[in-house]
Amino acid sequence: MTHQDYRYKQAFPKIGIRPTIDGRRKGVRESLEEQTMRMATSVAELLASELRYPDGSPVECVVAESCIGGVNEAAAAAELFSRSNVGVTITVTPCWCYGTETMDMSPSIPTAIWGFNGTERPGAVYLAAVLSAHAQKGIPAFGIYGEDVQDGGDTTIPDDVREKLLRFSRAGLAAATLKGRAYLSIGSVSMGIAGSIVNDSFFQEYLGMRNEYVDMSELTRRIEEEIYDPEEYKLALAWVKENCSEGQDNNPAHLQTDRKRKEYEWETVVKMTQIVRDLMAGNPKLAELGFTEESMGHHAIVSGFQGQRQWTDHSPNGDFLESILNSSFDWNGKRSPYLVATENDSLNGVSMLFGSLLTHTAQIFADVRTYWSTDSVKRVTGHQLEGNAKDGILHLINSGSAALDGTGQQSKEGKPVLKPFWEITDEEVQDCLKATSWRPASVEYFRGGGYSADFLTKGGMPVTMTRLNLVKGLGPVLQLAQGYTVDLPDDVHDTLDQRTDPTWPSTWFAPVLTGSGAFTSVYEVMNQWGANHGSISYGHIGADLLTLASMLRIPVSMHNVPESEIFRPRAWGLFGTSEPESADYRACSVFGPLYR
C-alpha cells in the first residue's frame, strides 16, 4: 500500500441527488417521472465529470432509488444516503412537490435545491415554498433557479445553473471532507502568536473536526529510536542530494557551520519530514518494524509545527519539512499536499485547508509582511510600478518555508499556474526544484540551523489570499483578497528583498481594488488584514470561499468578490438585501455553528 493509498483508505463523502416530484397519482406523477429522474441523472453526470476528490479520483454521486413524492420516499432516500456516506445533497425538480414532506431534514449536511424554470409545471413555486420551509425550520438551503425559461422537455443544464451546482458541490464536499478529521498540533504556542493557541471549540463546533496534540519531543524520540522507515530514508536522502540545491550561506563568517554539521542538518530535516507525515497520516511500514501504535497516525487532514523557539533554538528548523509536505511532490513522486502550518498557526492552517479542498492545489503559507506604495518603490529603487502593481504591492514572505509549487514553474497555455498533482508533469516538478535554493538558515533566527526554501514566485497568476480570525464574543471571521502575483525587475526585487531576508521565499501580490471599503487601496488591504499570516491559493476562488463559509456559519468581513458571484443560502436574503455583509453576520449568528 502506498502512502497515498494509506492516507485515503477511508471513503470520501458522496453527493446525494434527490429527485422530488408531485405526489399526486393517476396522471400527474406518472407524467413527470421520466423528466424528474433525468434531471437527477444529468446533475450526477455533470458533477462526476467535473469534480474530483483530493486523491484525483472522480466525485461519486448517489441518486435516490425512486422519485420522492412524500415523506416515506424521503426517509428511504435518507437511509440510502446514510449507508452510502453521502455528505452533500442536491434536490432537483421540474414541478410542484409537497415541501415539508419531501425536503431534506438533515441539519448538518449542506443541501441545495434546483427548481426548474419552466412554465409547464411550477418547479419555481416548489423551490420558493421549500426554501421557506428550510428557513422556518432553521436548516438553511441553497436555492438554484435558472435565469432563462426552459421548455418542458429541455434536458440541458443552463450555464448559470451549472455554475451554481458546481460551486455548491465544491464547497459542500470541502465541508464534508474535513468533518471528522483532525488538526494535529505539534508543539504549542509559537512566540506568542495567537493563531497557535489552538481553539478546540472552534474546530469542533464550526468544522466538525477533532484536535490532536503531540509534543515536539516526539520528533526527538522517533529520530533517536529510529521510528521511521529506514529504506525510505535512504531513498529520500539520495533524492534530496540530487534535487535540492544548497544555496549560499548568508550567515556572518563566525556563525557559519562546517560541512559535517551541514550534513547532519540535512539528515535531520529529512527524518523530520518523514516523521511529521507519519504523525499526520500514519504509515503501515512502522507496524512491520514493530511500532504498531505509531503506525496509526492521528487522522490529521492538517497540522501545525510550533518550531520557534523551543525546537529551533536547539535543532534544525522545520522549513524543509513544511516546504516539502506542503508541496505536491516529494521523493515518492507526485501526490496531494500534506498541509502543515508554520509556527502552528492553526487558523492559517484552516485557511490553507479551505483553499486546498476547493482547488486540490498546494497552498502558499506567508507572512503578510510589507506594503510597498508606488512612491516607496520609486524612492528606494527608482522603478515605477505598472500594470497590476500600479497601485502598490504587498510583500508576502514566510520565514523560510513555502510549498515549492509556489515558484509558479507549472504552466498551462504558456501561463504560470498551480495545478492539482495529477496534472503536474515530471518536467514541472524538476522546474520547481531547480527554481528553489535551500539556504542555510539564518542562525540569528534559528540557532539550531536547518535549511530555508528560497524562491521567487512568478508574476501574472490570479490568486486569492485568505485568513481566518477568531474574535472574542463573535467567533470565527473570514477575510479574503483576490489579486495577482507580480513580476518585478530582478534588480528591483533584489533591492526590496534584501531589506527583509534574502534566504526566504517571496511572492509579490497586488490585490484587485474595488474603490470601496478595505479595497479602496492596497494600503487599506494591508491595514485591514486581521493577522500576520495569510494563505495564498491559485485562482480567484473568493466566491467558492464565501459559499463554504456560509455553510459553516462563518461570516466574511472583507472580500472583493463581485456581487453577482456571491452564492449563499436563500435565507441570508431574509436578513436584508441592501447590505449583504451585514446580513451575512446576522444569519451566521442566528443559525449558529453547524455542529453545535
Binned average pLDDT, 10 residues per bin, the chain of 596 residues? 79 97 93 94 98 97 98 98 98 94 96 87 87 97 92 86 98 97 97 96 98 98 98 98 96 95 98 98 97 97 97 97 98 97 98 98 97 98 97 95 98 97 98 98 94 97 98 97 98 93 94 97 98 97 98 98 97 94 97 94
Type of residue numbered 158:
P
In a 13 Å sphere around the CA of 314, the CA atoms on its Cβ side amount to 6
Q: Are 343 and 308 in contact (CB under 8 A)?
A: yes
Is 533 among the annotated ligand-binding positions? yes
How far does CA 1 lie from the centroid of its chain?
26
Predicted local distance difference test score (pLDDT) of residue 387: 97
Is 431 among the annotated ligand-binding positions? no
Alpha helices (H) in 289-414, listed in sequence order: 292-295, 319-326, 346-359, 374-381
- Kindly state the cell numbers that stand for 371: 506594503
b/e map 68-101, b = 16+ CB within 10 Å: bbeeebbeebbeebeeeebbbbbbbbbbbbbbeb
Q: Are 346 and 476 in contact (CB under 8 A)?
A: no
Cell numbers 497555455 correspond to what residue?
A: 413
Residues forming a β-bridge with 370: 395
Backbone phi, then psi, for 593, in 5-degree steps?
Answer: -55, 140
b/e map 323-347, b = 16+ CB within 10 Å: bbbbbbbbbeebbbbbbbbbbbbbb
Which of 457, 487, 471, 462 is closest to 542 using CA atoms?
Answer: 462
The alpha-carbon radius of gyration of the chain (Å, integer) is 25
Predicted local distance difference test score (pLDDT) of residue 534: 98
Which of 361, 355, 394 is closest to 532 using CA atoms?
Answer: 394
Cis peptide before 309 (omega within 30 of 0): yes
Domains of the chain with CATH codes:
3-178 (3.40.50.1070), 182-591 (3.20.14.10)
Cell numbers 518536467 correspond to what residue?
A: 427
How many helices and strands in the chain, by DSSP H and E? 20, 23
How far does CA 397 lie from the centroid of its chain?
19
Q: Are 279 and 300 in contact (CB under 8 A)?
A: yes
C-alpha 284/C-alpha 182 separation (Å) is 19
- How wide is the angle at C-alpha 246 spanned by C-alphas 405 and 215, nearest 5°? 70
Q: Of 367, 428, 454, 497, which residue is the catalytic one?
A: 367
Q: In what order do the strands lie in the sheet with 245-246?
A: 245-246, 437-440, 451-454
The reply to whether 343 belongs to the active site is yes
- Kindly state the cell numbers that stand for 29: 406523477
Cβ within 8 Å of residue 422, ≥6 positions away: 52, 56, 334
The reply to whether 405 belongs to the active site is no
How far does CA 101 lie from the centroid of its chain?
36
Is 343 among the annotated ligand-binding positions? yes
Assign 459 to helix, strand or coil. Answer: coil
**Do you know the residue count of the chain?**
596
Which of 322, 325, 332, 282 is closest to 181 using CA atoms?
Answer: 282
Q: What secondary structure does DSSP assign to 525-587, as a single string? A: HHHH--SSEEEEEES--HHHHHHHHHHHT--EEE----GGG----GGGGGG-SS-HHHHHHHH
C-alpha 538/C-alpha 396 separation (Å) is 14
Q: Of 73, 322, 330, 343, which residue is the catalytic one?
A: 343
Q: Are 353 and 521 in contact (CB under 8 A)?
A: no
How far does CA 466 lie from the centroid of its chain?
9
Q: 83 to each of 16, 415, 456, 547, how far by Cα in Å? A: 11, 44, 48, 27
- Kindly state the cell numbers that stand for 328: 505536491
Backbone phi, then psi, for 164, in 5-degree steps?
Answer: -70, -40
C-alpha 83/C-alpha 503 separation (Å) is 52
- Kindly state the cell numbers that stand for 545: 470561499
- Kindly state the cell numbers that stand for 217: 519531543
Q: Are 222 and 230 in contact (CB under 8 A)?
A: no
Which of 302, 279, 303 is closest to 291 using CA atoms?
Answer: 279
C-alpha 35/C-alpha 30 separation (Å) is 10
Predicted local distance difference test score (pLDDT) of residue 1: 67
Q: Are 71 and 54 in contact (CB under 8 A)?
A: no
Residues forming a β-bridge with 68: 20
* Cα distance between the two ends of the chain: 37
**412 burial type by CB count under 10 A (0-12 exposed, 13-18 middle, 19+ buried):** exposed
